[in-house]
A and B are shown apart, each in its own frame.
Chain A
Amino acid sequence: MNNQYAVIDKISEGVATLLVGQDETEMIIGLEKLSADVKEGDWLEMDENGNFIASPDTTRKRRRDIRSKLDKLRKRKE
C-alpha cells in the first residue's frame, strides 16, 4: 500500500540517477524507463508494477519548501 518514492537527482549521459526512500539510496536507470518530460528534481512514485510515475504535487511542494529555506539563508546578514 505504501508506495516507494524517489527523486531524480541527476539526468546526464542518457541515464537518470534516482535517490530512493528516506535514506536516498542511489539507483541508476535508463531514461527510456521514465516519461520524456521528466527533469532533475522531479519526484516519482513507484507503482505496484515497479514503474516510476511522476508526482507533480510532491515536486511542487518540495520545490516551494526548499526555495523558502534558501530565501531564509539569503536574508541572513553576511
Chain B
Amino acid sequence: MRKNKTFAGIIIVLALIWPPLLFAGITITAIDVGQGDAVLVSHESYAVLIDGGRLADPGADYLRDNGISNIHLIVATHAHADHIGGLVGVLNRKDVDKVLYNGQTHTTLTFERFIDAILDSDAVYHEPKRGESFEFGEMEIQILHPEGSAADYDDHLHDKNIVVRIIYGDFAAVISGDIERDGELEILASGVDVSAQVLELGHHGSSTSGHPKWIRAVNPKFAFWQAAEGNQYGHPHRETLATLNRYGIEAKGTGTHGTITITGQKDGIFSINTSRSPDSDSLREACIDINTAGLSELTEIVHIGKARAKMIIKGRPWGSVNELTRIRGIGAGHLQDIIDQGIVCE
C-alpha cells in the first residue's frame, strides 16, 4: 500500500516536471518563434524537435521552460536560417541523440555554426531517405521527402526539404517545413501514404506551397502555419488559406494564435490549444468577399480589372460567386477560372 503511494507520488512529481506525462498521447507543439519554424513532438518521455526557428533563444527557452533537457531526435528540414538558426542553441544547451539533415551544403555563417554545433556534440548524424522511419515508443516518424541524400544537390534549398509524417495509432500529422508545390507533387507521385489529421502548411503558408492536390491527399481536419504577424513576405498567402477554406479545413497560425499545441490520441481524436486567441476569423479574412471588398482587392481576382470591379460593387448584393456571370464578359470559362483561383469567399 505504502509502495503504491510512493509510486503515485513519483508519477505526480514527474508529471509536474514533464507535462506530457499528465496525459496519454502525443503532443505536437508549433512554437511561436516569430518568422520561422519550430515544432516539438512529445510522446511519453520522448522529444523530437523539427527545426528551431531563426533566433538562438526562443526554441531553447521553450524547451527549458518545459523541463526538456534531452532531445531524442532533431530534424533540420533544410538549411535556411529561419529553420536552423535556433538549433545551434539547442545543440549547445541540450543533450541530443540524433540529427537528421538532408546533407545539402549552404554557405551562410548560420549554417556553418549549425554544422559546427553537431560536430561539437555527441549526436549521431544521418541523411535520411524516403521510406525510412524512426520509432520512439508508440510514435513513429516517417520520412516522406527527399528521396535520398541531397549532398550533391546545388539548386534551391526548398527542393530537398525533409518532410515527415508522424504516426501514433490512428493519429497522424505531416510536418512540411518549406517544401514547395513541385516537392508536394513528387511525394504524391511516389505513392507513399500522406493522409493525416493535422498538416503543417509548407513554407509558412506561402502560395509557393499547398498545391490543392496535396491538400486533398493529406486531407487534414486541421492545418497550421508558422509565421510572424505582419511579416514582409505576406505569409500566410491568401491563395493557400482560400484553398483550406474551400475544403472546410480549420486553420490557425503562430502569428495570430501564438504557440499552438495539438494533443492526439491513438483513436485519431485530437484537440487544439493556443496561447493567444485573435478576435477575427483569419480564414474568412483570407478570402475576398465580393459583397464587401474594395476596388483594389477585387482586382486581385483573375479576369477582374477596374471596370469589372466597379460592376461587382454596383451589382451588390451577390448571392454566390456563380452569379458573377451576370457581368459582361464573365462566361462559364472565366467563372471556372475565378473559382479555381480560390481566393473568392464562397
A15 contacts B105, C-beta separation under 8 Å: no
Judging by beta carbons under 8 Å apart, are B111 and A40 in contact?
no
Residue among B107, B203, B206, B208 with the most chain A CB within 10 A? Answer: B107
**Closest residue on chain B to residue A28 by CB atoms:** B232
Residue contact B156 to A40, C-beta cutoff 8 Å: yes
> Interface readout for A21-64 with B: 1 if CB under 8 Å, 0 if not?
01010101000000000011111000000000000000100110
The answer to whether B116 and A19 touch across the interface, beta carbons within 8 angstroms, is no
Residue of A nearest to B234 (CB): A13
State whether the Cβ of B125 lies closer than 8 Å to any Cβ in chain A.
yes
Q: Which residues of A contact B14 (CB under 8 A)?
A: none
Residues of B103-132 at the interface with A, using a CB-CB cut-off of 8 Å, are 103, 105-112, 115-116, 118-119, 124-127
A1 at the interface (CB under 8 A from B): no
**What CA separation (Å) do A64 and B163 show in the bound complex?**
27
Are A66 and B103 in touch, CB under 8 angstroms?
A: no
- Is B21's CB within 8 Å of the partner chain A? no
* A7-B109 contact, Cβ under 8 Å, with A12-B208, A13-B233: yes
| Residue tally, chain B, CB below 8 Å to A | 30
B221 proximal to A (CB < 8 A): no
- Nearest-Cβ distance from residue A43 to partner chain B, whole angstroms: 7
Nearest-neighbor residue (CB-CB) of A76 within chain B: B125
Q: Size of chain A's interface in residues, with CB distance under 8 A?
A: 31
A67 CA to B126 CA, complexed, in Å: 15
A63-B206 in contact (CB<8A): no
| Chain A proximity of B75: nearest CB distance (Å) | 15
Q: Which residues of A contact B233 (CB under 8 A)?
A: 12-13, 15, 28
* B80 contacts partner chain A, Cβ-Cβ < 8 Å: yes
Contact of B206 among A13, A69, A78 (CB under 8 A): A13
For the complex, what is the distance from the CA of A69 to the CA of B157, rounded to whole Å?
Answer: 18
Binary contact readout A66-78 vs B (1 if CB under 8 angstroms, 0 otherwise): 1101101110101
Cβ of B158 under 8 Å from chain A? yes
CA of A13 to CA of B178, assembled, Å? 13
B105 with A70: CB separation less than 8 A? yes
Task: Judge whether B162 is part of the interface by a CB distance below 8 angstroms.
Answer: no
Question: Which 7 pairs across A and B sit closest by C-beta, in order of nearness?
Answer: A62-B107, A41-B107, A73-B125, A67-B105, A69-B115, A7-B108, A9-B81
- Sample of 14 more A-B contacts, CB < 8 Å, known A11-B156, A69-B119: A7-B107, A9-B110, A10-B81, A12-B206, A19-B81, A19-B108, A19-B109, A24-B108, A28-B233, A41-B108, A66-B107, A70-B115, A73-B125, A78-B124
